[in-house]
Amino acid sequence: MRLFLASIVSILLFIGIVPILAMLIKAFMPDDTIPSLFGSMQTWMLMRHSVILASLVTVSTFLLGIPLGIFLGKTDLPFRRFFIFLFLIPLLVPPYIIAVAWSDLFQMSGLPLHWLSGLPGSLFILVSVYLPLPMLLTMIFLHTVHPHLEEAGRLVATWPLTLWRVTLPLIRPALLLAALLVFLLALGEFSVPMYLRYNVYAVESFTQFSAFYNFEAATAAAIPLVLFAALLTVAENRYLRNRIAIPRHFAQKNEFLRITLGRNRWSVLTGMACLAAIFVAMPIGSLLLQAGGIDSYLRALHVAGDALLRSFFYAFVGASVLTFFGFFTGYLFLKKPFYAARTIDPLLLFLFTLPGTVIGIALITFWNTPSTNIVYATTLIVLFGYLAKYTALTARISLATLAMVPPSMEEAAQMTGAGWFQRMIHIVIPLTRHGILGAWVVASLFILRDISITILLYPPGHDTLPVRIFTLMANGSPQLIASLCIVMIAAVVVPAAVAWGWFHYWGTKR
Amino acid sequence: MKTRDLIIGIVILVVALLLFWKSGQEMTEKRPVVVVYVSEDRVFSEPILKDFEKETGITVKAVYDTEEAKSTGVMNRLIAEKSNPQADVYWANEPIRAEILKQKGVSAPYLSPNAKEIPKIFKDPDGFWTGFSARARVLIVNSGINERPESILAYTETRWRGKSVIANPLFGTTTAHIAALFTYWGDDRADAFMRAMKRNGVALSTSNGESADFVAAGRYAFSLVDSDDAVNRIRQGRPVTMVYPDQKPDEPGCFIVPNAVLLIKGAPHPKEARRLVDYLLSKETEHKLAFADCAQIPLHPDVEIPEELQPIDTIRIMQVDYAKVAAKLLEIQPYLKRWVSE
């Protein structure tokens, strides 16, 4: 077991961490790149912009996401699942598609485009994209609050006061995690601010990379983002992880306390419908209007059908590999058979929070040698990128699922002489199969929407649909781009809806 | 879980992994293949490459740049891959990148027989890159303007204060154009021009396309853009006209930005690469690119052109050495960065 799990960790470290370390060492080698970069006022101005944007996005998603999570996860609001799924859509598609959609909407309605550009536009789009994170985490962690505590609160106080004084303080670590994730993702996001003309620090690294052709400076420019990610990962590991990675209690449907909205349900429903219209229906509606009739979609499929199929194929293979690695990493972290196992979870989270382009640049500089063509000249390099970036997701989901399996089950099998592989195959995997499937679905959706890793690493002629759209955006007809965006949204949303339906069916059946 | 299910699952995963790995491999393919990195917009370059595939039977594997977002930079990929080249050919949308690649030792010389009639100014004397199908840097002017600007110096004239727009000079052909002005005028005069332009309230847009749209919408009177952006808006029936700037004898002339094609040093498929270079430099390709939406001006004589364009030999061209422009472009990047942020 130890050898097998150690191999898994070693592979992950070799694929993800070693290239980053090699890149950082290389960045510190040259003479004056770092001093000249950080001595510039421009650098600090961009950093200020980034921190302002990331902070505003974090605060806004926090203020909107938590009430949304409570209404959708804790009350008897009608059509809850429908709304949850609607709000999830912007997170499932590449963020620039939402920006394109809003830009189309402004153009069609004759509104001045400069209203959408700069900080306000970037803030609005990123809030709509990352809003589901605090919403979902709130909803999930509301189930970890023991109902007895809320019942005790309800004896002396109203629901709002109970939520404020009992429930929310108990899930504070999860809310802080959501804030942390949103902050880091917004800090590393470049496509939306770039599209909407707001200069942020994440763009600096790309400018150094694409405009100045300066690899050392590009790497140096990535260092603050790496440091931010490292710092916040350490904080998460130190203060939050133990309280949220393995929930001590998860309320089942029959014991979970739900708030009755009563007469307020219709006004809440109206508010929810308005929010859904603003964040989801309007941008998608504008894309649908811009795309036109069925002919546009047929043309879009003709232009990018191969890229769509490739996206599904990459998602299938990538998600399978990620689930495999994530499952055993989660197991390793739960059981901690050796000390080094403690470090793997924060390292994976660190990689997840790093901008994809930083990982991409690191992988190119590390693997691009004649002796490693077997990786670099094939799609394996893309798979390595996905592994480095997204294993944290499958590992965390697996960890949470594995924690639900009573250790006594494995111990009983061990007592009867079953070896580790036998215990895994006959006990642990069957008991956690739904969690494994969930991890697979999440991984495949993230790979389907990925652009930052794929666009840097795809072998010639093997692009995916998000990359195809991105490369066609320069001078492509707006109608074609809109129909491709709709195809992209459908490619992510339809499988997500099927998975959602299946999990709901399974949950009800159970 | 039954052992049979596990074995089936593992077999499916292994087969998928093998397919996945094999699907990206080009080196071992038996059929002829050429790998091309492309900075020209995909919508215009892909049909040409498809035609090449059809006519020659050589499979084209391409990596396309994202011109507007600048996130990939296939040129950087070429530099990163210098010691381990994956590409055979690079199709640049302007010669500056081709020059930089020459200076960095990424390209290899090749004098295509199809390039004989292309004017010398548009090709490297040693064959490290060859230009074809050009864009001209023109002024797009709103039709509602009575007295049309005819020189880029209009950017500094007080009557156009706050009425002009230019694409962010950190990216694309605008960078090359500014670098060409620094080369042509010298640093002092070009710097004075840039400062005067800023003082005159020039607006910045994200791209030439956006500038053209702003002018077409009447938000600004004129903008310096690529000829394809202007032709596009004219074909859409938008109220704009196109002016080839600085055509008088004492003026610098119009800056021409040809596409450039080059062979990569150590290309894995050199034979196929030369065929593709020859194909791109043919009159037929120039004809197709002239009549495509990109409306690019052929550099070969006697190639038919659409009515919106002017033949290359009738335009007064800014006489610059693209090698010097490339060197200047790298030199003025910090200056341009300051200019944008000030």
Across the interface, do B66 and A475 touch by the CB < 8 Å criterion? no
Residue range A431-455: average pLDDT? Answer: 88
Asked whether residue A433 carries a pLDDT value surpassing 70, the answer given is yes
Å between B294 CA and nearest CA of chain A: 9
Higher model confidence: residue B275 or residue A263?
B275
Topology classification of domain A1-28+296-510: MetI-like fold (1.10.3720)
* Fold of domain A39-200+240-278: MetI-like fold (1.10.3720)
Residue A502: predicted pLDDT: 81
Which one-letter amino acid corresponds to residue A262?
A: G
Which tens digits make up the pLDDT trace of A367-382?
Answer: 888 888 888 888 899 9
How close B12 comes to chain A (CA, Å)? 10
Contact criterion met (CB < 8 Å) for B77 and A364: yes
Looking at CA atoms only, how far is residue B248 from chain A in angstroms? 32
Res. A162: pLDDT tops 70? yes
Do residue B79 and residue B159 come from a single domain?
Answer: no
pLDDT, tens digit (0-9, with 9 covering 90-100), for B22-81: 665 554 556 799 999 998 888 899 999 999 999 999 999 999 887 544 444 688 788 878
pLDDT over 90 at B208, yes or no:
no
pLDDT: is A242 or A447 the higher one? Answer: A447
Q: In angstroms, what separates the C-alpha of B339 from chain A's closest C-alpha?
A: 11
CA–CA separation, B278 vs B130, rounded Å?
Answer: 10
Whether residue B23 is contained in a domain is answered as: no
Structural domain count of chain B = 2
User: Quick count: other Cβ atoms within 10 Å of Cβ A231?
Assistant: 12
For residues B74 and B65, what is the distance between their CA atoms, to the nearest angstrom? Answer: 6
pLDDT at A66 (0 to 100): 93
Residue A44 tokens, joined: 């600090």
**What does the mean pLDDT of chain B come to?**
89
Cα A181 from chain centroid (whole Å):
9
Whether the Cβ atoms of residue A270 and residue A86 lie closer than 8 Å to each other: no
Whether B243 is covered by a domain: the verdict is yes
Instruction: Give me the residue from A376, A455, A460 closest to B62, CB to CB.
Output: A460
Whole-angstrom distance, CA of residue B219 vs CA of residue B214: 5
Pinpoint the residues of chain A covered by CATH 1.10.3720.10: 1-28+296-510, 39-200+240-278
In this predicted model, what pLDDT tens digit does every residue of B278-337 receive, in sequence order? 999 999 999 999 999 889 999 999 899 998 899 999 999 999 999 999 889 888 988 988
- Same structural domain for residues B220 and B337? yes
A495's tokens? 């499988």
Instruction: Out of A197, A210, A426, name the one closest to residue B73 (CB).
Output: A210
Whether residue B76 and residue A452 make contact (CB cut-off 8 A), yes or no, is no
Tens digit of pLDDT for each residue in A230-240?
777 777 766 66
The confidence score (pLDDT) of residue A52 equals: 94
A364: three-class secondary structure by DSSP: helix
pLDDT for position A349: 80
Per DSSP, the residues of A417-445 read T--HHHHIIIIIHHHTHHHHHHHHHHHHH
- The answer to whether B1 contacts A42, with C-beta atoms less than 8 Å apart, is no
Q: What is the DSSP string of A321-338?
A: HHHHHHHHHHHHHHH--S
Based on its alpha-carbon atoms, the radius of gyration of chain B, rounded to whole angstroms, reads 22
Q: Is residue B159 domain-resident?
A: yes
Q: Which of A111, A210, A479 to mutate to test the interface with B (most CBs of B within 10 A)?
A: A210
- Contact present, A147 and A162 (Cβ < 8 Å): no
CA nearest to A40 within chain B: B338
Highest mean pLDDT among A114-123, A295-304, A327-336, B200-209: A295-304
Distance CA A15, CA A347 (A): 12
What ipTM does the predicted assembly reach? 0.74
At B93, which helix (H) or strand (E)?
none
Q: What is the nearest CA distance from B116 to chain A, expressed in angstroms?
A: 30
Find out whether A109 and A67 touch, Cβ atoms under 8 Å: no
Q: Is B167 helix (H, G, I), strand (E, B) or coil?
A: strand
At B71 the pLDDT is 44
Mean pLDDT of A399-404: 83
pLDDT beyond 70 at A35? no
Count other Cβ atoms within 10 Å, centred on residue A80: 17
Q: From the list B25, B37, B70, which residue is nearest A378 (CB)? A: B25
CB contacts < 8 Å between A and B, how many?
162
Contact at CB, B25 and A212, closer than 8 angstroms: no
* Dihedral sign (CA B95, A360, A489, A192): negative
Contact list, A199 vs chain B (CB under 8 Å): 341
- Report helix, strand or coil for A249: coil
Inter-chain residue contact A475 with B293, CB threshold 8 Å: yes
- Taking contacts as CB-CB distances below 8 angstroms, the residues of chain B near A376 are 84, 86
> Mean pLDDT across chain A, nearest whole number?
84
Q: What is the CATH number of the domain that holds B262?
A: 3.40.190.10
pLDDT tier at A215 (50, 70, 90 boundaries)?
A: low
Say whether both B201 and B333 belong to one domain. yes
pLDDT at residue number B244: 96
Mean per-residue pLDDT, B133-161 = 94
- Residue A368 to residue B16, Cβ atoms within 8 A: no
Query: What are the Cα distances from residue A360, in Å, to A192, A223, A322, A357, B67?
Result: 19, 14, 17, 5, 19
- Kind plus residue range of the DSSP H or E element containing B295: none
